[in-house]
Amino acid sequence: MTNRRTFIKNSALATAGVGLAASMPLAMDSCAGANEKLVCGLIGANGMGFADLQAFLDQPNTECAAICDVDENALNKRLTDTEKIQGIKPKGFKDYRKLLEEPGIDVIIIGTPDHWHCLPMVEACQLGKDVYCEKPLGNSIEEINIMERAAAKYNTVVQVGMWQRSDPHWRNAVDFVKSGKLGKIRTVRTWAYQGWMEPVPVKPDSDAPAGVDYDFWLGPAPKRPFNPNRFHFNFRWYYDYAGGLMTDWGVHIIDYGLFGMGDPSPKSIMAMGGKYAYPEDAAETPDTLQALYEFDGHTMLWDHGTGIDGGYYGRNHGVGFVGNNGTLVVDREGWEVIPERKRREDLMERVDLIKGSGKGLELHMANFIEGVKKRKMDLNANITVAANTARVAHLGNIAQRTGKRLYWDTENSKFIDDNEANGYLVPNYRAPWELPKI
pLDDT given for residue 309 in this prediction: 95
Question: What is the pTM for the complete model shown?
Answer: 0.91
Q: What is the spatial distance between Cα 192 and Cα 195, in angstroms, rounded to a whole number?
A: 10
Residue type for 166, please?
Answer: S
Task: Please say whether the beta carbons of 351 and 176 come within 8 A.
Answer: yes
- What are the start and end residues of each CATH 3.40.50.720 domain in the chain? 4-165+364-387
pLDDT given for residue 34 in this prediction: 53
Nearest Cα to 270, choosing from 286, 252, 293? 293
* H, E, C per residue of 202-250: CCCCCCCCCCECHHHHHCCCCCCCCCHHHCHHHHHHCCCCCCHHHHHHH
Write b or e for each residue in 226-264: b if 16 or more Cβ atoms lie within 10 A of its Cβ, otherwise e: bbebbbbebbbbbbbbbbbbbbbbbbbbbbbbbbbbeeb
Domain covering 169-202+232-356+389-419 in this structure, CATH number:
3.30.360.10
- What are the start and end residues of each CATH 3.30.360.10 domain in the chain? 169-202+232-356+389-419
pLDDT given for residue 33 in this prediction: 53
DSSP E strands, 341-389: 341-342, 345-346, 351-355
Task: Please say whether the beta carbons of 31 and 4 come within 8 A.
Answer: yes
Q: What's CA 52's distance to the chain center, in Å?
A: 12
Q: β-strand 288-295 against 298-306: which pairing, if any?
A: antiparallel
Q: What is the spatial distance between Cα 361 and Cα 355, in angstroms, rounded to a whole number?
A: 16
Q: What is the spatial distance between Cα 95 and Cα 74, in angstroms, rounded to a whole number?
A: 14
Task: Please say whether the beta carbons of 337 and 328 come within 8 A.
Answer: yes
Assign domain 4-165+364-387 to its CATH architecture.
3-Layer(aba) Sandwich (3.40)
Task: Compute CA distances 430 → 123, 130, 417, whole Å.
Answer: 18, 27, 28
Question: Phi/psi at 4 (nearest 5 deg)?
Answer: -60, -45
Q: What is the spatial distance between Cα 2 and Cα 422, in angstroms, rounded to a whole number?
A: 38
CB within 8 Å of 152: residues ≥ 6 apart: 383
Task: Please say whether the beta carbons of 55 and 365 come within 8 A.
Answer: yes
pLDDT given for residue 5 in this prediction: 47
Q: Consecutive 10-residue runs of the chain (438 residues): their mean pLDDT?
A: 42 37 34 73 96 98 98 97 97 98 97 98 98 98 98 98 97 97 98 94 96 97 96 95 97 98 97 97 97 98 96 96 98 97 92 93 98 97 98 98 98 98 98 96
pLDDT given for residue 12 in this prediction: 36
